[in-house]
Amino acid sequence: MAKITQLQRLVNPTGNELVVVADLEDAGKTKGIAVGPLAMAAAMPAVDLAEAARDGAEAAALAALVALGDGIYDTVADGIAATNDGEGFYVRGNDSGLELWIRGGATARLYVAFATRSSLRNNGINLWEVAKGDGETNDTDSIAEAVDSAASWKVGRINCGSDRYTYKMGGDFHRSPNSDFNRGLVELRSSVALVGAAPGSRPTFKMAGGYYNPGGLFSDRFWEGNFIEGVHLENLILDGNIAAQTWNASGGTDLGGGDAGADVFQHGHLVALLLAKKISARRCAFRNARGDGITTGGRRDGVEYDFARDLLVEYNEFENLFRQGVNAATNVVRLIGNRYSGDGFWVGAVTLEVGEIVDVVQDFWAAHEQFDFRIGVSPPERTPRWRATSAEAAARRIHLRRAYAASGNFYTSYPDFKFPGKLGRLSLVHPKIWQGTIDCFGFDRVHIDQPQIENTYEDTTDHFLIGPNAIHAGPARDADRVTGLADFIVSKPIIRSDLGGPGIHVSRFERVNIGGGSIVGGRDAGIRLESCGGSVTDMDIQNVGRLTVGGDAAIRDASSSAITVFGTGGDLTIADIRAKDTRVGDARRMTQAVYANVSTETLTRIRDVTGRNMRTGVVYDVNNSTLITGASDGERKLRFNSPIEANAGLKVDGLVEFVSSNGDLDIVLRAALGTNTKLSFIKGIGLEGQLIQLADGTMQINMFDNGVATGSPIAFTNDAHVRMATSWERPLEIQPGTFVWVDAAGSMRISVGRPAADNGGTVVGTQL
C-alpha cells in the first residue's frame, strides 16, 4: 500500500482550501473535501487543488490531513485492519468529516476526527472542545479563536454547552484608538451565534475578578467604520462579576463633587456593539456589570441615514446592571417579554438616547416587558448632592428607577426650535412596572398601550435622572420654545402611583390622546397637560392631589385636580371624566375635576365631567375661556359656562332655575324680524295661557281654557298704553271684590262683587 506524501500545515487558512483524498473504491478517483480550521488542535495539512493540477503530482493528489510516524494509509474499517496492511495510520471518511485511525497489533482505533467545513456549518463549533469551561481556566483566547474561526470559515454557530460549563474570561480589554474606555475582552465577528443548550441549562460567561474600572465581555471594532452584522446570543448567562471588581466611583456635580477622574457613565457593558445591524439575543441573562447589559447603536461618520438597525431582544433577564439593561440607539428595535430587576439602572432599564440632530432613529417596539424595581435600589451616583462613596449617598438610594427612557437631542437646540421629526414611531405595549416610570423626551409619534404602573411614595429630591411622574413626555430641551412634536398617545393606562408628581405629564405635543383607563393616587394632578392639543377621554381618576391645602391657591388648585391644563397647543377636548375623592373632610385633597388655565386662541372643550366630593367644585376655568357642556358634582346637576344652541327644540322635565351670581339676571327670547314671539303655558295637553309679542311690538296676554280662548287678550302696545276688551261676563277686577266693565251701551260700570247682568253695578262714565 503506497504511503501518502506528508504536506505542511497551512498557517492561515482562508476558508477556500480543500484537502484531497483518494477514494480507492471508486476507480481511484480523487475527491475534494473542505475542512474547517478546528481539528482537535491537531496539525492540518491541506493543498490548493489548482496547484495540484498544475504540477500533476500524484503525492499532492493523495494529500492527507496529518502525517505521523511512517505515513498514512488509505483506508481502514471500524476497529479492524486488513491482515496485509502494515501498522500505521489510516484515513477514513464518515458523515461529518474525516477520521485518522491507528493500527496497533491486530486492531485499529480512532486516533483523531476532523470535521469538514460542511459539517461545521450544519452542527457548529463545540466550544467545550477548544475551551475548558471549568470556571478556573482563563478561556478568553479559546473563545476568541472559536469566534474568529466561526466567522472566517462561515460556520456561524458556536455551541456553548449546558449549565455544567462556566467560561472564565480575563486578560486585557480591547480599546478604540481614540478612547480610554475599556471595551470587551473578546471581539465579536459578523454572522456568529453563541448558543447554549437550553433555556433551563445555560452556560455562563463570567468575568474574572480583580479589575479596576473593568470593561465588558464582548464588543466590536466600531472605530474601523464597518458595521458588525448578524450576531446572535441564545441561552447564555453573561456575568460581569461586579462584586469582585473595583472602580473610581462617579461623584456629584454641583453640590458635592466626586472622586478625582470619575466617569459618571461607566462602560463595563457586557455586550457593546456600537456600529451594528441585525443583532439578537434570546433567553439570556445579563447580570452584574458596571455598565449595560446590551448596548447597540452608531452611525457611520458623515452618512446621515446609515445608522444602526435591527435589534431583537426577547425573553431575557437583566439584573444588577449599573447603567442600563438595553441601550438601543438603533432603528427597528423589538423588545419582547424581557424582565428587569435588581440594583443599578442609573439611567434606566431600557434607554433610547440620540445625541446628534442629524441622526434618524425610528421604529422602536417593546411588548410585554416587566420591570420589578421593588427588587434592588438605585446606585449612589444618582444622588449628586453627596459623594458617591459617602454614607449619605448610600442612605439616599431608592427603589424608583426609569423603566423606559427615550432621550433625543438633549445636547443641541433645533434650528428655529422646530422639531425635525427624525426621531419617533415608538410603541410600548402592555408594560408592567413596579417602582418605575416612563420618560419620553424629544421623540414623537409615541404610543404607550395598556401600561400598568404601581408605585409607592419615594422622595426623588436630590436624585438625578428620575422624576416623580409615572409617565412624562415633552421636548428634550428648550421645553418652553420647541414646536412640532406631533403625536403622543396613552391608551388604557392603569396607574396606581403615590409619587410626588402627576400620573401623566405631557408638554408641547400638538396631538395628545389619553383615554380608556384609570389613575389612582399621587401627590399632584392625575394628568397635567402643558401647551398641548388633542383629547383626554374616558378616564377614572381618584384620590390624587397635594398633601397640603395651604400655600398658594393657584398652585394648590393646579396640583390637586384630576386633570390640569395650561396653555394652548391646539384644540383640546376633555370628556367623559369621572373624578372622585374617597377621603373625608379635611383629608380630601382634590380641589376640582378639571383645572383649566388656557386662552381663547384655540378651543378647549370640557364635557361630561363628574367630580364627586371635590373641595371647591367640578371645573375651575381660570380665564372663563373654555366651552363647558355637562359638568356634574355627582348629584345629577349639570353646569354650563357657554351659550346653548338647540336647533331641534329643548324639553326639560323638572324645575328650571335661572341664577345670576355676578349681577342682573338677563333672559333673552330672540325671534326674527316680522314674526311673533310666544311664551305658552300648558297644563296636560291643553293651552292655558300665552305671553306673546306681536310683530308690531305689542305685548299681549292671551288666556285659554284647555286650548280654547277665553275673553279678549290684554295688550301693552309699543306706544305705552294698555288695551283690553271687557264685558259683564269678563270684567276687570281692579281690587279684590271690585269689578269694572263697559256695558253694551258703551258706559263704564263698577260693581262690588261680580256682576250678574250687563246693567248691574253703578255707571261711572260714558265711553265716547
> What pLDDT, on the 0 to 100 scale, is given for residue 723?
84
Asked if the model's pLDDT at residue 501 lies above 80, the reply is yes
Question: Residues 357-409: pLDDT tens digits?
Answer: 777 888 999 999 999 999 999 998 888 777 787 888 889 999 999 999 999 88
pLDDT: is 464 or 41 the higher one?
Answer: 464
Quick one: pLDDT band at residue 414, thresholds 50, 70, 90? confident
Rg (alpha carbons) of the chain, rounded to whole number:
43
Nearest-angstrom CA–CA distance, 476 and 441 = 5
What is the mean pLDDT of the segment spanning 442-455? Answer: 97
Asked if the model's pLDDT at residue 307 lies above 80, the reply is no
Quick one: pLDDT band at residue 88, thresholds 50, 70, 90? low
What is the mean pLDDT of the segment spanning 83-97? Answer: 54
Give which of 376, 397, 370 is closest to 386, Cα–Cα.
Answer: 397
- Please answer whether residues 440 and 371 qualify as being in contact, where contact means their C-beta atoms are separated by less than 8 angstroms: no
Question: Residues 273-299: pLDDT tens digits?
Answer: 999 999 999 999 999 999 999 999 877
Q: Under CATH, which number does the domain 121-537+555-579 receive?
A: 2.160.20
Give the global pTM.
0.77
> What pLDDT, on the 0 to 100 scale, is given for residue 128?
93
> What pLDDT, on the 0 to 100 scale, is given for residue 684?
82
Quick one: pLDDT band at residue 714, thresholds 50, 70, 90? confident
What is residue 416's three-state secondary structure? helix
> What pLDDT, on the 0 to 100 scale, is given for residue 363?
94
pLDDT: is 533 or 121 the higher one?
Answer: 533
Most confident of 108-122, 286-300, 423-437: 423-437
Nearest-angstrom CA–CA distance, 674 and 637 = 38
> What pLDDT, on the 0 to 100 scale, is given for residue 189?
97
What is the mean pLDDT of the segment spanning 543-565? Answer: 85
> What pLDDT, on the 0 to 100 scale, is given for residue 448?
98
Which residue ranges does the chain devote to CATH 2.160.20? 121-537+555-579
Identity of the amino acid at 315:
Y
> What pLDDT, on the 0 to 100 scale, is given for residue 74?
44
pLDDT: is 461 or 9 the higher one?
Answer: 461
Nearest-angstrom CA–CA distance, 338 and 314 = 6
Mean pLDDT (the chain) is 82
> What pLDDT, on the 0 to 100 scale, is given for residue 119?
60
Question: Residues 611-635: pLDDT tens digits?
Answer: 999 999 999 999 999 998 888 887 6
- Please answer whether residues 470 and 440 qualify as being in contact, where contact means their C-beta atoms are separated by less than 8 angstroms: no
Per-residue HEC secondary structure of 381-404 comes to: HHCCCCCCCCHHHHHCCCCCEEEE
Give which of 342, 500, 364, 337 is closest to 423, Cα–Cα.
Answer: 364
> What pLDDT, on the 0 to 100 scale, is given for residue 614?
94
Q: What percent of the chain has pLDDT over 90?
A: 49
Quick one: pLDDT band at residue 66, thresholds 50, 70, 90? very low
Asked if the model's pLDDT at residue 429 lies above 60, the reply is yes
Quick one: pLDDT band at residue 79, thresholds 50, 70, 90? low
> What pLDDT, on the 0 to 100 scale, is given for residue 259?
46
Asked if the model's pLDDT at residue 158 lies above 80, the reply is yes
> What pLDDT, on the 0 to 100 scale, is given for residue 380?
87
